[in-house]
Every structure is written in C-alpha cells, then in structure tokens.
Chain A
Amino acid sequence: MSQLRAKTKHAMPSQEPEKRITNFSEVALGYDEKLARAEAERCLNCKNPQCIKGCPVEVPIPEFISLVKQGDFLAALKKIKTKNNLPAVCGRVCPQENQCEKYCILGKKGDPVGIGRLERFAADYELKHGSDDTSTTKAAPTGKKVAVIGSGPASLTAAGDLAKMGHTVTVFEALHIPGGVLMYGIPEFRLPKDVVQKEIHKIKELGVEIKTNHVIGKLSTVDELLEEGYDAVFIGTGAGLPYFMNIPGENLNGVYSANEFLTRTNLMKAYDFPHHITPIKVGERVAVIGAGNVAMDAARTALRLGAKESYIVYRRSEKEMPARQEEIEHAREEGVQFKLLTSPIEFHGNEQGVVTGMTCIKYELGEPDASGRRRPVPIKGSEYTMAVDTVVLALGQGPNPLVPKSTPGLELTKKGTIRADEETGATSKPGVFAGGDIVTGAATVILAMGAGKKAARAIDAYLRSK
C-alpha cells in the first residue's frame, strides 16, 4: 500500500442548507459505494485497534471496514450485527467524535476514519438491497418468558438479544408506535422514521412481540407481569419527563417543552397538518433554551416549520454545548443563531396568554463546577428583553416516574432514576433488570443499547440458573 492516505474524511453528500430547511427529508444523504470504499481504504486495519475501545457495544470495526473495502457490503453488515442490532440508527446518531472515532489512530494526524458513516452505509445497503441471509443464529427455545417495558434503543437491544438466546420476549410500549425517542424525539431529517421501523421489523423477525398502547404502571404493574408468568422483566422506560425552569410565564401558550414540540412534529407528523390532524404552531421568532442534541433538533425543526429566525439560547459558552459537533454545524449552516451566556428569567405574554417576549440575563463563566465545566454566573444589571413568539424549553429530561412509582421494592436514586448494577442491569428487585436513560438519566442511544446488551446477558444467565 504505497498510495498516500487522505488526511481528511470523505465529505458526506448532503442536501444544501437553503433547500433542506424547506423540507423534512434527511439532510445527510449517505455515501455511495464508491465513496464508501474510498473511505474504507483510509483504515489501517490496526492490529490493536483503538477505535473499538470507544464503542460501547464493541462493534468489530476494522473487520467490518475491510469487508467494505472488499466490496462485500452485506458481509460487512453481518459483522456489525454480531454486536449492534440497530446499525442504521447508530451510524446516524452516535456522537462518534466522542466515541469510536475519538480513539481512531488516524485522528492523531488528521481526520479519523468515518466509522459512523461506513456503518450507516452498510446498514442502508442492506435496507435498500435486502439480504438473503436469514441465518441469524437463534438458540433453542428455553421456554422462559421475558417482559420488556418501553421500546427505545435499550429495550429493543435487550429484546433482540434475548430472543436470539431462545427466550420468548414481549415488549410493552406506552405509545402507539415503538421506537422511543428514535420515533418521537429525533427528527425525520436526521433519522428517517422508515429506517427506524425497518430496523424494528428485523427485531420482530427474531420473534419479539411488541404490544403498543400498553402503559405499564397503569394497565399492569411490574409485579403483575411477574405474577402473570413472566420469568424476568427489563425496564427501559427512558428519561421522558421534561424539565421546566419554574420561572414566571412558563405556562403561556407558545411555550413548549422540547418533548411536546418534537412529539407533535415527529410522532404525530404535525408538519403535514392538516393531512395529519395534530397541529403545531410556530411563530416567526423562535427561541430554543438549551444547547444539547434536543435543542439543536428543536431549533432546526422550527426553521422547517416556517420560523424566520431560530435562536439557541444557552447560559454557558460554545465550548460547553453538549450537542454532537455535526448537529451544531448543521444548525449553523441552516441559519440558527446562537445567543450564548444568556438565559431567560421571565416570559411575557399578550391578552390571549400567548408568549410575546422574554427577559434574559447575561452570564459569565466562573469556577468549574462538579461536572468540570465552568459555572455560569449571572451578570447583575445585564437584563434585556427579546421579542419571541415561540419558545421551546430543551433543558433536559428526568426519569418518567410511572414505573418506579408503581413498583414497590424498586430502589431509586435521589434523582428518581432506577438503581441498577452497571454490568448486569440488576435492580434491587429479584428478576427485574433496568437499563438506558431510566438508569443513567438522559444519555445516548448507544449507551442505552450497551445497557440493553449487558442486561440481556445477565437476564439469560439468571433464567438459565433458575
């Protein structure tokens, strides 16, 4: 191999910003075969690959990339699938710069290999061309039944793995469509919903039954599931409880939680109103409070719903913004404006109770806090008013209390998350395991999947020892 290795990743073909803010179609279009093979050529196929260390589910990265190099895309995907049941999702939404790609050796002197993009390519290739491979190895039926609560990435991973291990798995989902945040939170333009549903379909093909419209804690409790004959329960109910700021004016019309704003748009398809019947209202000037992935999604969604100006309002500085790098860049390209070191202290409204503006205060950075980030300190006398007609609060989410509250004997943390063993997902209640955002608080898709995977292994061991 004498050819000079490109220092930079092959660029991702994307919809142009001016065009994409007028539609909800996917922004990043994905590599074609030629680009994928060229990007794969950059990989050194390291003997001691550092990249894998950064992947919470240990995708065999160099192996799948060499299969892409050889043009055997279906084999590449099969390799990925030995560890990851949702590659089309992860390839799109993993914060790769903090995970696999952060550790890639090429990153020392230039761009790391575009691992996520290659993973997405392989997964899309199969979704598009189909696979004649039906040989997923499934263990002999064990006769054991497992109930999985929620159908986000943690639950889907646990369910898929448990089915492969030979157990009978039933998933209970509160909403009318499975997928959790992948369906109701992350927008279509970043993660097309038919991609998610196709991946869920593959999990169903493993024999997993998914019951939607089942709110556990209301329709049945965890204890009742155990009494009804489930041998073990996995709780993956996520961090769906939106935080508010507790400042005046927060209940004005036009002040949305990010969850409501995104759920109306994604799950209920309000962007297609009135063809789809759920409405959403977006004004000309939209302020999104927060700077995580959720905030970027809301700010970019607002533009697509017709906002003329869309602002990210964040009380820390650019460096502390928790969103994926790519989302911040995409938001900037699309014209989202950033008001940093700023936060609202009050919302104002008109007679109809509709928000018309907010008073903000400016901050400066002080000493580092417990999270290691410099603490924002309000600057006295810096208050000013900003006119807005829609506000979206993207301040993070807590654990939904429905299941914890209805399950006696389940130990919780002070924050209300479920206390579970990091390696096994075992909770304080025998036979009950938990993982994903309900344990860690709002985190990432891949960490939730990692937790689902570990829990599946532990549940299998538990069932076989019973």
Chain B
Amino acid sequence: MHKIIKKEVLSEVVKLFEVEAPLIAAKARAGQFFILRLDERGERIPLTIADYDREAGTITTIFQEVGRTTKALGKLEPGDHIADLVGPLGQPSEIEKFGRVVCVGGGVGIAPIHPIVRDLKKAGNDVITIIGARTKDLLFWEDKLAALSDRIIVCTDDGTYGHKGFVTDMVKEVAAEGEIARLWAIGPMPMMKAMAATTKPLGIKTIVSLNPIMVDGTGMCGACRVSVGNETRFACVDGPEFDAHLVDFDLAMRRMAYYREEEKRADEAGSCKCGGGCGCHS
C-alpha cells in the first residue's frame, strides 16, 4: 500500500499526486515510469515519474483523467492509499552533453519532460524548453521548468496564453535560430507524430516517449509492442523512448484504440455506484 502525500489540482482534468514509494524514489531516473493498480479489481496502468524525492521517499506523477482508472485515481485524497505501485520501469533517457537541446512537452506530456530537462541541464546542455497545450487552463509547471531551462517558450493552440500556435511551429522557429543537437517530444500520439514529421526534414535527432497499452510492464505480455524501424519492440522494456523518425505512429495509434468500447463500458460501470457488479452495464 502506498500513501498519497500530496494532491494538486492542475486543471479540471489534470491532477498531481505525490506518493510514498521510497524504493522507487531511490532508483528512479529521467524517462522512466511506474505501473499502478488502485485496488483488488483494478487495471494496471502506466504513468510517468514526473519527479522524485529520494530523501522524502516519494514520487510525483501528473495524470489526465481520461477513463475509468484515471478518474477513480483523481477522486483520491491525501492520506488515501494505492494498492500496488511497481517501478521504476523502462529505460532511462539517454543523457549526455549534446549541446543545444530542445525539450517539448505537449499537454499532460509537460510532466515527463521535467526530469529530462533537469538532467540535461545538469549534464551541461543549453536547454530550450517548449511547452504547449490546447488552452491556457491545461498548462502547468511553467515556473518549475523555466527555472531549470536556459529558455522557455509557451504556446497554446487557441492563443489564450503565450504564443498562439502549435509546439511544432515553435520548434521550427528555434531550429531557424541555430542547430538543435537533439530534441525530446512528449505528448499525445498525434503531437509526437507531427513533431517527427517536422524534425525529420530538418535533420534533428528526435526522441519520443511512447505510451501504448501495457499490462505487466516487464516484457512478459507483448501488449505494448510497437514498430520501430520495421522491428517489433516492447515499449515497456526497450523503451518507452524511441527514435521518432523510426516509429510507426499510425500502427501505435490504432493499437491504442482497440479497447475503446470496453473502456467506455468500464467508465460507465465506474460512474454507477455498483462498481460494475450490478450487471446492467454488461
């Protein structure tokens, strides 16, 4: 059991939790994730480690409420417990001194960018951070990221805050000003796909963090398989970070949509008091 220490409501649908997990906190590195299971009947869902405090023994995660499990999670309060947390999973980000690097976080993808920005800076890079969201209310951690970066650029699709435009537009501008040695882009699949298409002709090595459906997270089931450079890879153990220019995004997006009907049913069952037991949803 893992106790929730802190909760922040970042927007109507985006929440932050700091959770007790001393062993994971001791080992966590940028780019890694964990899997949680809320309770006995729960699904195992992956979330990125957005921050960790080795001394306090906690990890921080930021998640968007999209379905049954994330909505139920969002209802928990400090002092509540989560049944299972397993991690840190996945390969850590490859951090070296590259030179001028860009980290792009889109929507809830702003969170996983944070430890990468921090480590890239520590490794002596010139870090430009770009964060973007559909609208102002969905932005968070601007200050935190600004403090770690050499420069921060904020944009919204609707222009309610920062520059009006997509993160890809901002990247084009930054690329025009000088060479980008490496770029990270984390966000919804369509955003990562668009970024790959933007940076490929510019010759910028681009890393994305893929978020396929997972079950065990240890390389045992193959649910998370993605095609990278025409080879099948398991995102949970080989990734989740991959070279964006080699990823088959269309396949990844189709695989993510496979359970849409069931997700809806689970969500409906979850919003009725019976918890799915009454049989009227099946």
Q: Which residues of A contact B (CB under 8 A)?
A: 174-176, 184, 212-215, 218-220, 240-242, 244, 246, 250-251, 253-254, 256-257, 259-260, 263-264, 268-269, 273-279, 281, 352-354, 400-402
Please give, as numbers and ranges, the residues of chain B lying within 8 Å of A263 by CB-CB distance: 215-216, 220-221
Q: How far is the CA of A188 from the CA of B87 in the complex (A)?
A: 28
Q: How far is the CA of A259 from the CA of B221 in the complex (A)?
A: 5
Please give, as numbers and ranges, the residues of chain B lying within 8 Å of A274 by CB-CB distance: 262, 265-266, 269-270, 276, 281-282
Shortest CB–CB separation between residue B61 and chain A, in angstroms? 16
| Contacting pair B262 A273 (CB below 8 A) | yes
Cβ proximity bits B216-242 to A, threshold 8 Å, 1 near / 0 not: 111111110111000010000100000
A-B contact pairs, 15 of them (CB 8 A): A176-B84, A214-B23, A241-B219, A244-B232, A251-B225, A256-B222, A259-B220, A259-B221, A274-B270, A275-B277, A277-B276, A279-B263, A281-B258, A353-B251, A402-B237
Most A-side CB within 10 Å, residue of B84, B257, B262, B281: B262
Please give, as numbers and ranges, the residues of chain B lying within 8 Å of A184 by CB-CB distance: 220
| Contacting pair A400 B219 (CB below 8 A) | yes
Most B-side CB within 10 Å, residue of A259, A269, A279, A401: A279
Most B-side CB within 10 Å, residue of A213, A240, A254, A353: A213
Taking CB atoms and an 8 Å cut-off, the chain B residues in 139-176 that contact chain A are none
What residue of chain B has the Cβ atom nearest to residue A173's Cβ?
B86
Shortest CB–CB separation between residue A270 and chain B, in angstroms? 9
Chain B residues within 8 Å of chain A by Cβ, number? 48
Shortest CB–CB separation between residue B62 and chain A, in angstroms? 21
| Contacting pair B41 A240 (CB below 8 A) | no
Q: Which residues of B contact A (CB under 8 A)?
A: 23-24, 27, 37, 41-44, 68-69, 83-89, 215-223, 225-227, 232, 237, 251, 254-255, 257-259, 262-263, 265-266, 269-270, 275-277, 281-282
| Contacting pair B262 A275 (CB below 8 A) | no
| Contacting pair A264 B281 (CB below 8 A) | no
| Contacting pair B221 A242 (CB below 8 A) | yes
Q: How far is the CA of A184 from the CA of B237 in the complex (A)?
A: 19
Q: How far is the CA of A220 from the CA of B275 in the complex (A)?
A: 37
A-B interface, 10 closest residue pairs, ranked by CB to CB distance from nearest: A353-B254, A279-B262, A260-B221, A257-B222, A213-B86, A240-B220, A253-B258, A274-B269, A274-B276, A277-B43
Q: How far is the CA of A213 from the CA of B87 in the complex (A)?
A: 8
Q: How far is the CA of A242 from the CA of B224 in the complex (A)?
A: 12
Shortest CB–CB separation between residue A180 and chain B, in angstroms? 10
Candidates B218, B255, B270; contact of A400 at CB < 8 Å: B218
